[in-house]
Amino acid sequence: MMSAELAFAATEAKQKLGEIMDAAQKGPVIINKSGRPHVVMLSVETFNRFQEYEDRYWATKAEAGVRSGFIGPEATMMYLQEKLNG
């Protein structure tokens, strides 16, 4: 867990959605269900940044596969497209 995160119970989140959305612009907000973390609300900017990190990670893995001769460029592209679309 991050040290500075906010957490709300699901019932409280229903009542404070606007406040939670504002807080999510500054950092992750945990929504708990039955006393346990259930979902995280993030700003769109943070979500997009995570998506970019993930895309770069997989692109690096695919490039390493191509360089090592594990699979060819066409198979790598098909694999990445399947992962991104599926």
> Are 49 and 26 a contacting pair, CB within 8 Å?
no
Looking at 3.20.20.120, 1.10.1660.10, 3.40.1620.10, 3.40.640.10, the CATH number of the domain 6-42 comes to 3.40.1620.10
pLDDT at position 3, please?
43
pTM (whole model) above 0.85: no
Residue 86 is predicted with a pLDDT of 67
Residues of the chain with pLDDT under 70: 1-5, 86
Domain boundaries, the chain: 6-42, 45-85
Please report the pLDDT score of residue 4 as a whole number: 47
Whole-angstrom Cα distance, residue 73 to residue 78?
Answer: 9
3-state secondary structure string across 29-75: EEEEECCEEEEEECCHHHHHHHHHHHHHHHHHHHHHHHHHCCCCHHH
